[in-house]
Structure 1
Amino acid sequence: MTTTPPGWYDDGHSALRWWDGSRWTEHVAEPDPVPAEPAPGPDAVATDAAATHDPGYPSDSSAPLAPVGAYQDAGAVPSVGAPASPAPATPPSPPKSKLWIVWVIVGVVVLAFLILAGVLLSRLLVAGVGQIGSSGSGGPADADQQAAVAAVELYDDAWQDADCDAYVASTTEGFRTESGLTDCSAFESEAEAFGSAVEDYEVEVTDVRQEEDAIVVTTTETFTALVDDNGEPLDEPTDDSIDWVYTVVADGDDWVIDDLQ
């Protein structure tokens, strides 16, 4: 009969007990805790009871028939290491909001709209001021009134440039006769004297209106006077202005000045 070598063996009671080669000793080593198992059913209890009283297990004076479990070094208590828990994964960064892109686009659109509105408004203001500066609150309403204003401007240019042709083209024969300037030499002489008496002559049309068969054009004409009323030179040039009312009538397809007050 083969003798079982000394060592730690399962004694059948869930404990590791030292077998000295001939008998069980009082030295017991507790095994590592194992997960709890379901309570045994009636059949399992009966089997355990039978195993407990199995005559094949040695008593204090007999060796075990077949030790259960692996051979262990004397005094060593088997240890079962718990598996290492994996390190928690770093949570992913929350996705960055792209709402700021929408706000940037909206801001650019609003800014562009404001700039465009400002440009359009400035152009409208400039156009309005220009219209007021040239024709006043009652500007030309149609082509005839525009032609009447053009006749007044041509007349003023004739005086500043001593241009007899412009003078004749912008006035009626009756107007020239009444003014005493019926020929070009007389007009040019008067116009040259006028040019030496004033400078910086500006004409602003302030009103245009229809009166029966005539168109009345009102102007404010500003200038710097270089001589006094007697034709004598001034020590210092003087800024001055005068308002004129032109009565403009149709002459065929043209409009010409027939009266000036």
Structure 2
Amino acid sequence: MTNIVVLVKQVPDTYSERKLSESDHTLDRASADAVLDEINERAVEEALKIKEAGEGEVTVLCVGPDRATDAIRKALSMGADKAVHVSDEALHGSDVIATAKVITAAIGKLDSFDLVIAGNEASDGRGGAVPAIVAELLGLPQLTHAHQVTVNGSTITVDRETADEGITHLEASLPALVSVTEKINEPRYPSFKGIMAAKKKQVDTYTVADLGIDAGEVGLANAWSKVEKAAPKPPRQAGERVEDDGDGGTKVAEYLASQKLI
């Protein structure tokens, strides 16, 4: 029996216009449509495949505002069994280290777990560090950039694929943490039955105080980095047209040189 925790996140839809808030330069989440991050759908799918190959339970864990319940319900409608939602205004602006500490504390609220699955990186931050930090805080082996996962009893094997190193075969004993790539699978669509069932599934909600974390340890004021200023991307300007009167090649070369491209 494998009890799996899947880390999920609600993010602004990549098809929406995304911008930073003027007050503190954090992501303005209210200005864009919010969705379950696509990489998290793949993480949930992989957890469900492991569960269906044997026995177990899939718990989705989300750190985010109240509206993140929509993303949680999407994961539950896919087939996850229950959820944990950490929602607290104090978390606004938290960096990856604080976020990982909160996730680790929330996992500690569970009765038991054998495997933690996450996406390699969220589409709204692209830090890609949270899975590794959570693994370190939990004292777990971490198998990252997985594009194939196999669980056999108390052993997990992973094919790890990166652009620099190619494919590496990894193996570890459970419990462990795995982060998956966008190539690992194609997530299922929630069925009508799954959508209806999700409304009745258990969702435990915690604040940072419930997790034994002081609000002063998280949030923008405690972040190790901050945005000093930001400005909208300038509108695209028309390019320079080169008329070829027999010296077009020279003109192109001169232009590229002036832009320090050659």
Say whether the fold is shared (TM-score over 0.5): no
Q: Which has the larger radius of gyration?
A: 1
* Structure with greater helix share of residues: 1
Structure-2-length-normalised TM-score: 0.18
Structure-1-length-normalised TM-score: 0.18
Structure with greater contact order relative to length (CA < 8 Å, sep ≥ 6)? 2
